[in-house]
Amino acid sequence: MSDTASTALDAYPTECLMNTAARPPLVFVRGDGSWIWDHEGRRYLDFVQGWAVNALGHSPRVLREALETQAARLFTSGPGFFNEPSLRLARLLTEHSPFDRVFFTSSGAEANEGAIKLARKWGTLHKGGAFEIVTFRNAFHGRTLATMSASGKAQFEALFEPKVPGFPKATLNDLGSVEALVTDRTVGVMVEPIQGEAGVLPADDGFLRDLRALTRARGLLLIVDEIQTGMGRTGRLWGHEHAGIEPDIMTLGKMLGSGVPLAALLATDAVACFEHGDQGGTLTGNPLMTAVGHAALSTILAPGFLDDVRARGADLRTALEEVSRTHDLGEVRGRGLLLALDLGREIARDVVVRARAAGLLLNTPRPSTLRLLPPLTVSRGEIDLMARTLDAVIAEMPA
């Protein structure tokens, strides 16, 4: 179990973990940028990156330094005291978004859980106890009981009954389906600018603008779950910017921590109505994690960084469209560096396994869909290599 070049898999106590996922027989031991190494010293080009998490790739120097500097100063002082890194990160987030107040959490689900609680509190104070939040079919908002209930994932439906009530489901890009669910119990609408786990299904910019107009007209909160689309993933800092809207509440996770457990709930002043004791958590605003988040966001905000993300996003789209044309596959969907390739038939799992054998890590959110989640720092050469490998894998697929 040391980091010698090669260790046999049976040296690892894999049976000691709860068996909650079909994991391949690999143990990853080291990463560097777009690359990751397994227990046998094999190297993979990583287009999963911790599930859309590592904005700057594996173990980037700027985040290592932030972590080490903060670790030497203060791990945590607890949620009952202010600490410097969380204040610095909260200020950076509010300076670069339409929001005024931040609550930090450790996971995206916890941030969404907080958003649901904040909306319900606001409904209690300002809307006669309204508590329902309209969410969408195929949405993914996390794995706590309330966020599973808010999700529209078919596999969740039969699990852990009874669900938390109050999450009627509308259809993405169908405003009428939202309007039909709005009653005097409704307090808000929660939407992902791009439904990532559903297979990279974008909300149209016009639909997001219509949702903003509808929620304003009916006095409802608009909550955007930007856990996957935020932090520059789509080529703009926030996914909702493309539509030119200003939501009331936003949640962040994944690339906010860029590899460490950090997420956040942001709200405008008018909506941030938590009172003492309403919301908390032992590790909320943890200095170690928020120091890393501050370094990650500062890097993404540096001049030219998002220009490069947009350029690499265009390169990746072109490369995927070429693979699709060559093999007569389906459409390329998404924005920036959150793209999916539709394979046209249910072979994605097989493609992922064969790509891994060829030294490329890919993700499949749906049986016929590949999702590409490179770091925002991916190079053109790495995109070309990914496309060449994918092309060869698909060429060898049985008909």
Q: What residues are labeled active site?
A: 140, 225, 254
User: Is 109 among the residues that bind ligand PLP (CB under 6 A)?
Assistant: yes
The interface region with ligand PLP, picked from 83-91, 192-200, 359-367, 386-394 by CB under 6 A, is 192-200
- Closer CB to ligand PLP, 108 or 334, in the complex: 108
Contact 65, 298 (CB under 8 A): no
Burial class (CB in 10 A: 0-12, 13-18, 19+), 25: exposed
Angle, vertex CA 151, rays to CA 280 and CA 235, nearest 5: 85
Q: In angstroms, what is the minimal distance from the CB of 322 to ligand PLP?
A: 28
Task: Compute CA distances 291 → 185, 297, 324, 325, whole Å.
Answer: 40, 10, 41, 44
Q: In angstroms, what is the minimal distance from the CB of 108 to ligand PLP?
A: 2
Q: In angstroms, what is the minimal distance from the CB of 111 to ligand PLP?
A: 8
Place of tokens 């173990």: 59
User: Phi, psi at residue 203, to the nearest 5°?
Assistant: -75, 130
The interface region with ligand PLP, picked from 2-10, 105-113, 334-342, 350-358 by CB under 6 A, is 105-113
The helix (H) or strand (E) run that includes residue 335 is strand 332-335
Select the residue interacting with ligand PLP from 49, 135, 228, 369 (CB under 6 A).
228
C-alpha–C-alpha distance, residues 82 and 243, integer Å: 35
User: Is 113 among the residues that bind ligand PLP (CB under 6 A)?
Assistant: no
Q: For residues 233-272, which are near ligand PLP according to CB under 6 A?
A: 253-254, 263
Q: In angstroms, what is the minimal distance from the CB of 142 to ligand PLP?
A: 4
**3-state class percentages of the chain: helix first, strand second, coil last, to nearest 5:** 40, 20, 45
Binding-site size for ligand PLP (CB under 6 A) equals: 16
Q: In angstroms, what is the minimal distance from the CB of 390 to ligand PLP?
A: 23
- Closer CB to ligand PLP, 37 or 136, in the complex: 136
The interface region with ligand PLP, picked from 70-78, 140-148, 316-324, 346-354 by CB under 6 A, is 140-148
Q: In angstroms, what is the minimal distance from the CB of 357 to ligand PLP?
A: 27
- Closer CB to ligand PLP, 186 or 228, in the complex: 228
C-alpha–C-alpha distance, residues 170 and 192, integer Å: 13
The interface region with ligand PLP, picked from 80-88, 107-115, 328-336, 361-369 by CB under 6 A, is 107-115
Q: In angstroms, what is the minimal distance from the CB of 177 to ligand PLP?
A: 20
Angle between helices 287-301 and 61-73 (to 10 degrees): 150
User: Is 192 among the residues that bind ligand PLP (CB under 6 A)?
Assistant: yes
- Closer CB to ligand PLP, 86 or 363, in the complex: 363
Select the residue interacting with ligand PLP from 34, 54, 86, 107 (CB under 6 A).
107
What is the dihedral sign for C-alpha 378, 379, 384, 385? negative
Burial class (CB in 10 A: 0-12, 13-18, 19+), 54: buried
- Closer CB to ligand PLP, 127 or 236, in the complex: 236
SS3 string of 230-258? CCCCCCCCCHHHHHCCCCCEEEECHHHCE
C-alpha–C-alpha distance, residues 231 and 237, integer Å: 5
**Would you tell me which residues interact with ligand PLP (CB under 6 A)?**
107-109, 112, 140-142, 192, 196-197, 225, 227-228, 253-254, 263
